[in-house]
Structure 1
């Protein structure tokens, strides 16, 4: 059995065969009592209407019944509730189990799926590749990739900025994170990576029913996973043997050398962490950038200020633009933790097996968190930060995304390249829709550049 077959078989089990102690709905906060399939569809496919509707009806804490049948998700919204969950004992609040649906794609060693000692070890090995010194080392290459991609645009063009940002952030992942430079390997990886990122919510749900993997889109997803693994393991083997390994600055090379002799990442661990970085850092950053360009393109005064910031090197303002895009248009809907034993959260005595999650959608849209929340206003992030636990695109606590700094650095570099070269105008209106686990502009945030 190949490592890919082993992962598929092993990681399908947590999704297909999760057994939770029977939870009495009377123990939980109020919520709809529809079938779990309907609530799962609402949560995965129609979250931008479903979650706010549930909030309006049931208040700041409510429960959802989701697949696998018998699993319960309790949504929290207030900053003090968010703080309580992020500060919870990581031995009790398990994030990995809450993300189990991603297991067949990411693998058991993924930082997002690990808990306890395994998570602590993996995070310690990965963190040096994303500290301040490492980010400074990546910046020039990110700038070059962004300049190369933006340099292909033509004045007068109108296009979906999401597509252009996806192509750009993919190149950053492949060259800066994976460290791939050979054009033939890049040509092979690009379509496999795109098909991995574009997996639909239906495919994610299908992991809970492995029989589906013999048919249609599920079968194609499995075939693509095998091909991506083949390419990635080949790259890992070649990189380990590279004579200049200790002089390379890409993330993969740093991870191969991370840790002490005898406690370094295996090929399987490297593969799982690279796919995690890919899924967590590709379309998330691309969506945030496309929304940023769309919002700037709707406000000439704000665009003029942003272009001046790009010309003068005012990265603080460009970062504020990116952060406000992440606030107004959340890419990820919530952060989840599964309770390993009965726990009191926000005054509710919750049973083991329940999953709890702060809603990013609601937290970012509350007017008591962010005055005039529907207004795009980067000034919220200039010289100050919003109140603690009201802006949470990267999660929080010991599970805060290790790639947060990389994402902001990359976003600022891309905005600088675009805005020094082009004037931007939004072409039409847009609103969010769901693609895989992320939210993206329904019409791709169409813009015109000149």
Structure 2
């Protein structure tokens, strides 16, 4: 029989739980799971009542549920001040279904495969400028690579001046600590002086994106262009709708992949045997070697999920995990909780890419990109990009290992990043001669 009460949870005031979530998101939720089990309730200031789920069977109920009952867009509403009201991340119902369908084509396997040579070239150019013999945070370098990939392959920007301005403004706009998250969640704050800097950066990004849209509409070759923006222009979206989708792709599509790559290097430098094997695979090539690089990427996203959970707001009373939950409650499938479950991943704290080789990964037991009808539409793009860039790094540099403690997870907006920026040290540069996955030779890295 279903209970009419919420699952148990900590009795702390909502404001206190809000502070804990803002500063210790993964640690706090994991502690609650250990204390209360696989379903528990949090009351968090600015978010409301959240019911966390750690049982894949319960998560399957949510992912397979009626989208009109489980509103993911409403759960992401705090991003509207940045992404805009038309973003595929903040809308629900038939509008979301139709918009998502339009945006899937550029992220299909064949479309992404055509972009791997460009991804590799962008990575190679960036890696060539890395310092040798000096420790440095690699996260900003990864962000620069993945932003350039989005700008050139997804948005299709070719104007040099506009590219330079977008490269400059987007990293500043996406520095979403606790302070700059406020005008995103409450857009009205952008009118107040303390947040004028954020507002000005957002206006500059908007100006550049609208200029790109205007130029693309006038392009006589629009019908032949394969990038996402051109496809969306051909679909008949308005300028405002296009702007919101471009901002969504920039925000959701580059910092997340950059963070996954940063965690990959942070972990590899602390596991010499795995680093040696991955480096050998990257430099050897072939199906078996590529399979190991893919396994490294998958294990990184398991042990260090970039996003710790996903949310759905209930629009009506609904039975979930044996509890009749009231409308307005947010149910939160816990990505990090499932990935840390010893029953599904023995020794879950151990970084072990071997566990991913030939593994049958289910959609509710391995879910770094969410699931259901709201699974990240760029998941395939991100997985391919992560493997291509990691392969380029390992082919082109010799990384030093370290015995330093692993970096902690720090909250940046809605993602979990290495708290010191994933600091690494390059022992030496190598001249990479092997062709990339598309068969095109790269320029040699400089010594």
TM-score, normalised relative to structure 1 = 0.89
Q: Which stretch has the larger CA shift, 77-86 or 422-431?
A: 422-431
Matched residue SS, 2:117: helix
1:267 matches 2:239: yes
Q: Which residue of 1 aligns with 2:144?
A: 167
Shift of 1:347: 0.6
Matched residue SS, 1:62: strand
Q: Which residue of 2 aligns with 1:299?
A: 271
1:57 matches 2:35: yes
Distance 1:212 1:224 in 2: 14
Shift of 1:114: 1.3
Q: Of residues 182, 200, 210 in structure 1, which corresponds to 2:159?
A: 182
Q: Of residues 422, 430, 433 in structure 1, which corresponds to 2:397?
A: 422
Q: Of residues 379, 384, 406 in structure 2, which corresponds to 1:404?
A: 379
Distance 1:244 1:124 in 2: 23
Distance 1:184 1:231 in 2: 10
Segments of structure 1 that go 5 or more residues without pairing to the other structure are 1-24
Shift of 1:372: 0.5
Shift of 1:103: 0.8
Matched residue SS, 2:425: strand
Distance 1:180 1:105 in 2: 21
Shift of 1:154: 4.0
Matched residue SS, 1:43: helix
1:355 matches 2:324: no
Matched residue SS, 1:434: strand
1:75 matches 2:47: no
**Is 2:282–2:290's contact at 8 Å kept on the other side of the alignment?**
yes
Q: Of residues 25, 29, 32 in structure 2, which corresponds to 1:47?
A: 25
**Is 1:284–1:331's contact at 8 Å kept on the other side of the alignment?**
yes
What are the residue-to-residue correspondences of 1:12-411 with 2, within 5 Å? 27-68=5-46, 71-207=48-184, 209=186, 212-215=189-192, 217-257=194-234, 259=235, 264-313=236-285, 314-411=289-386
Shift of 1:54: 1.6
Shift of 1:176: 1.4
Distance 1:100 1:108 in 2: 9
Distance 1:234 1:440, change over 3 A: same
TM-score, normalised relative to structure 2 = 0.89
Q: Which stretch has the larger CA shift, 295-304 or 148-157?
A: 148-157
Segments of structure 2 that go 5 or more residues without pairing to the other structure are 429-447
Alignment RMSD (CA, Å):
1.9
Distance 1:203 1:35 in 2: 24
**Is 1:138–1:249's contact at 8 Å kept on the other side of the alignment?**
no
**Is 2:78–2:186's contact at 8 Å kept on the other side of the alignment?**
no
Q: Which stretch has the larger CA shift, 272-281 or 311-320?
A: 311-320
Q: Which residue of 1 aligns with 2:432?
A: none
Q: Which residue of 2 aligns with 1:432?
A: 409
**Is 1:426–1:446's contact at 8 Å kept on the other side of the alignment?**
no
Distance 1:369 1:216, change over 3 A: farther
Distance 1:56 1:219 in 2: 42
Shift of 1:208: 5.2
Distance 1:432 1:255 in 2: 36
Distance 1:107 1:215 in 2: 19
**Is 1:298–1:425's contact at 8 Å kept on the other side of the alignment?**
no
